[in-house]
Amino acid sequence: MSQEHRESLLEVTNLSVYFHTDRGVVKALDGAELRVGKGEVVGLIGESGSGKTTIARSVLRVLPPAGKVINGNIRFAGKNLLQLSEAQLNDSVRGKGITLIPQDPFNSLNPVFKVGTQIKDIMKWKGSDGEGRNIDEDKIIAMLEQVQIPAPADQLRKFPHQFSGGQRQRLMIAMALLPGPDLVIADEPTTALDVTVEAQILQLMMGLVLERGISVLFITHDLGVASQICKRIVVMYAGQDMEDAPADVIFSQACHPYTRELLESLPNPEGDIRDIPGEVPGLVNPPSGCRFHPRCFRATDRCSSRTPEKTMMGDGHWVRCYHPIRA
Ligand SMILES: Nc1ncnc2c1ncn2[C@@H]1O[C@H](COP(=O)(O)OP(=O)(O)OP(=O)(O)O)[C@@H](O)[C@H]1O
Ligand code: SF4
Ligand SMILES: [Mg+2]
């Protein structure tokens, strides 16, 4: 089945999120859109500050107190997440239907408790796996074996600092899979790791999610990493989604000027890196209309007047641009 015809699991539409800060109101997301189909692996890519984590936090409704959803809709498995009560969210969504693999596993584990105690406590709260069975120690050990942690029963008696970065990330993957989620949001899960360990962990994670049919929203600033594992890629810039296409199309036929610049900025075989000209805008007073316009080589007056609607460029290929590149 082609990716774009899959039934939706997660649908984020027209999402705007503001942070109230001493510097002013940070307009972190401006009408952002994103869809993840059932069993689909979607990459959400963008530079630092483009709003990737803010989308993830909005979906799980765990924005920091300064952050407010101003507009938009988030639907997951037929539920309108922005209208559920906290109790309903805890009951069926957070850590259950949707789990998170965070960027920095060290911050997600309490240093003063043994790993086994922490996993058991969290799983007690989660109550059961996806099929309604309790998550007991045997299940935890079996999952640690699946993520290839050696001698798992012994490991449960260790403290977080006794694990390497790669092992901690394997623990995070195990904890994200134990409740039998429908969707895993992986927020830059391997950026803290070296390249060899990163490749091993990504391969392991992808094997486990694909065999279970779990959908993944894979957040990264690394287009290279996204292309290895994602079927579809959504490109974000300064809080707006710019292009959404199958991964191979992003590489061969990207239409959005920003995506083109991003591809140009990938290191070439000689290892040279070319920066995108201009600067990432501040989001207290972001550029009007298409937020890329001050840096865009194709910009016209129209671009700063209004945010472009999405235009369909091909099967499952959408772009938000008044002057998409068609060649
Ligand atoms: N708690 C906060 N208070 C104020 N501004 C915030 C807060 N969290 C995020 N922002 C702002 O919102 C914007 C989007 O941030 P976000 O963390 O979502 O970006 P990101 O794409 O995940 O970046 P990174 O790749 O660095 O993780 C940024 O301008 C950021 O400064
Ligand atoms: S809408 Fe205009 S400014 Fe934005 S990317 Fe397209 S051409 Fe450039
Ligand atoms: Mg982030």
pLDDT tens-digit series, residues 38-78: 999 999 999 999 999 999 999 999 999 999 999 999 999 99
pLDDT digits (tens, 9 = 90+) for 298-308: 999 999 999 99
Please work out whether the CB of residue 75 comes within 6 Å of at least one atom of ligand 2.
no
Please check whether residue 17 is in contact with residue 67, taking contact to mean a CB–CB distance below 8 angstroms.
yes
Q: What pLDDT is stored for residue 130 in this prediction?
A: 64
Alpha helices for the chain (secondary structure H): 52-60, 86-92, 105-108, 115-126, 137-146, 152-155, 165-177, 195-212, 223-229, 247-253, 257-264, 301-305
pLDDT digits (tens, 9 = 90+) for 119-157: 888 877 666 666 666 778 888 999 999 999 999 999 999
Q: What's the number of CA atoms in the CB half-sphere (13 Å) around residue 156?
A: 20
CATH label, 3-97+185-319, candidates 3.40.50.300, 3.40.50.2300, 3.10.560.10, 3.10.20.90: 3.40.50.300
Q: Which residue has the tokens 């989604």?
A: 241
Fill in the DSSP letter of residue 128.
Answer: B
Count of other CB atoms within 10 angstroms of residue 319: 25
Q: What pLDDT is stored for residue 131 in this prediction?
A: 65
Task: With CA atoms as reference, report the closest residue to 34 among 249, 219, 182, 226.
Answer: 219
Please work out whether the CB of residue 296 comes within 6 Å of at least one atom of ligand 2.
yes
Ligand 2 pocket: which of 256, 260, 288, 296 to mutate (most atoms within 8 A of CB): 296
Return the sign of the alpha-carbon dihedral for residues 95, 98, 100, 101. Answer: positive
Please check whether residue 212 is in contact with residue 131, taking contact to mean a CB–CB distance below 8 angstroms.
no
By the 10 Å C-beta count (0-12 exposed, 13-18 middle, 19+ buried), 240 is classed as: buried
Q: What pLDDT is stored for residue 4 in this prediction?
A: 47
Q: What pLDDT is stored for residue 108 in this prediction?
A: 78
Ligand 1 center to 267 CA (angstroms): 25
pTM over 0.85: yes
Domain ranges of the chain: 3-97+185-319, 102-178
Please work out whether the CB of residue 238 comes within 6 Å of at least one atom of ligand 2.
no
Ligand 1 center to 52 CA (angstroms): 8
Ligand 3 center to 217 CA (angstroms): 13
Q: What pLDDT is stored for residue 49 in this prediction?
A: 94
Q: What pLDDT is stored for residue 127 in this prediction?
A: 64
Q: Which portions of the chain are predicted below pLDDT 70?
A: 1-5, 105-106, 125-133
Calpha distance 116→128 (Å, rounded): 17
